[in-house]
């Protein structure tokens, strides 16, 4: 196998005729994730009730350290995990001390978890939401009058990379506004250093996409001093303190204050195993991007379809790990490719083609031939 396909032998062998260009959607799992999944099962079988000591004392801090290292965070204890980012989004909202309705500013291209929830909050009278194009978000935020500002690091529909995180962070205060960055399409796809804003910005992401660890590995970076007592809470957020009066609801002093209740820890095992594999192979996010860049150039050189590329970028600028192409034929193209066992995806009139470690130049040749035949 060429390139890095040897790291994905199980997934590739499971569907040998499939050409998977949707790494931005459901990333194929590397073989290392299989080892992580096995380790989770074996620990559960070997330790039974005592497995939670292994999870919370070994696997959890290892996963925290990996996420913090990827993001340049100075303190891994600001990372908390959950089954998905929606859980964390709702807990953050519940921790805001602002009077209701919340005054929320967001881009008009946020992912469905926030889009749907925020519209339901509006319907219930719990929030007033202002939605603006990502290009005008910072300017609008500077105008003030908001409790919460939400923006995606990479817009899931267009692949636009947001460069205003530091500008939003300058506005954040514990008393409001709060700033939350949805990093799901940025985490391990774009080199990200949050060190300078770690004390002011929330950041959510997870393992489903470029972290290659699958579902169940949502995480939140929670800046200290923001939201010490979330209203929506589970018993895992408690901590032992004999000085507390009976009946007092205690909270962990770090990001564990945003924990819920019992969860499936297998995703954390997969995440730690995949990160260990990448370290052994010397595959940083920059190195993966270096593998992807020539494949992207090969795909787009004399592109065979008439479509508008929504996310062009200079060669030295951060780029999404997928190409977003707008056309009235996008859905038809995606369906036709699927019939040839070529996996892409579509969002409205946008065809998204994702790139990753398990593709090589021969795969792009096959994809281009299929595109030309449409």
Domain end among 218, 246, 277: 277
pLDDT given at position 2: 60
29 assigned to some structural domain: no
Residues 154 and 225 in one domain: yes
Closest CA to 256 of 93, 72, 69, 82: 82
Quick one: 122 and 242 in the same domain?
yes
- The CA–CA distances, whole Å, from 79 to 67, 256, 288 equal 8, 8, 24
Residues in the chain with pLDDT values less than 50: 1, 242
Domain count, the chain: 2
CA distance 369 to 374: 9
Q: Residue 203 belongs to what domain range? A: 34-277
List, for residues 253-310, the tens digit of each pLDDT value: 999 999 999 999 999 999 999 999 999 999 999 999 999 999 999 999 999 999 999 9
DSSP helix/strand/coil, 150: strand
Tell whether 184 and 313 lie within a shared domain.
no
CATH of the domain at 111: 3.40.640.10
Task: Give the list of residues 6+ apart from residue 172 with CB closer than 8 angstroms, or none.
Answer: 149, 178, 179, 200, 201, 223
- Alpha carbons within 13 angstroms on the beta-carbon side of residue 43 total 20
Q: What CATH number does residue 319 fall under? A: 3.90.1150.10
Query: Residue 57 has what DSSP assignment?
Result: I
Establish if 139 belongs to a structural domain: yes
Residues contacting residue 290 through CB under 8 Å, at least 6 positions apart: none
Helix axis angle for 266-281 and 60-71, nearest 10°, is: 50
pLDDT of 243: 58
pLDDT score of 354: 97
- Are 9 and 102 contained in the same domain? no
Q: Strand, coil or helix: what is 148?
A: strand
CA proximity to 8, closest of 219, 297, 291, 340: 291
């Amino acid at each position: 196998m060429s390139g890095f396909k040897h790291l994905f032998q199980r997934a590739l062998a499971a569907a040998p005729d499939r050409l998977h260009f949707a790494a931005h959607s459901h990333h194929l799992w590397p073989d290392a994730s299989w080892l992580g999944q096995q380790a989770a099962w074996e620990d559960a079988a070997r330790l039974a009730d005592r497995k939670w000591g292994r999870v919370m004392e070994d696997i959890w801090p290892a996963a925290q350290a990996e996420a913090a290292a990827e993001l340049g965070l100075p303190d891994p204890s600001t990372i908390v995990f959950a089954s998905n980012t929606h859980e964390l989004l709702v807990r953050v909202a519940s921790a805001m001390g602002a009077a209701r309705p919340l005054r929320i500013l967001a881009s008009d291209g946020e992912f469905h978890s926030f889009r749907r929830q925020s519209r339901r909050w509006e319907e219930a009278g719990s929030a007033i939401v202002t939605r603006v194009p990502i290009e005008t978000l910072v300017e609008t935020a500077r105008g003030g009058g908001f409790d919460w500002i939400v923006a995606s690091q990479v817009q899931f529909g267009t692949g636009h990379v947001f460069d205003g995180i530091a500008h939003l962070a300058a506005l954040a205060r514990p008393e409001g506004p709060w700033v939350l960055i949805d990093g799901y399409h940025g985490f391990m796809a774009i080199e990200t250093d949050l060190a300078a804003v770690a004390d002011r910005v929330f950041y959510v992401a997870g393992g489903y996409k470029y972290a290659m660890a699958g579902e169940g590995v949502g995480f939140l970076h929670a800046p200290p001093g923001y939201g010490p007592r979330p209203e929506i809470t589970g018993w895992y957020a408690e901590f032992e303190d004999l000085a507390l009066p009976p009946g007092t609801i205690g909270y962990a002093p770090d990001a564990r204050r945003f924990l819920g209740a019992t969860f499936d820890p297998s995703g954390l095992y997969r995440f730690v195993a995949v990160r260990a594999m990448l370290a052994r192979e010397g595959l940083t996010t920059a190195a993966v991007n270096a593998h992807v860049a020539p494949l992207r150039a090969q795909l787009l050189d004399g592109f065979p379809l008439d479509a508008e590329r929504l996310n062009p970028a200079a060669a030295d600028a951060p780029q999404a790990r997928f190409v977003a192409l707008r056309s009235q034929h996008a859905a038809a193209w995606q369906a036709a490719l699927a019939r040839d066992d070529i996996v892409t995806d579509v969002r409205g009139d946008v065809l998204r083609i994702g790139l990753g470690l398990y593709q090589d130049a021969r795969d792009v040749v096959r994809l281009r031939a299929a595109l030309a035949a449409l």
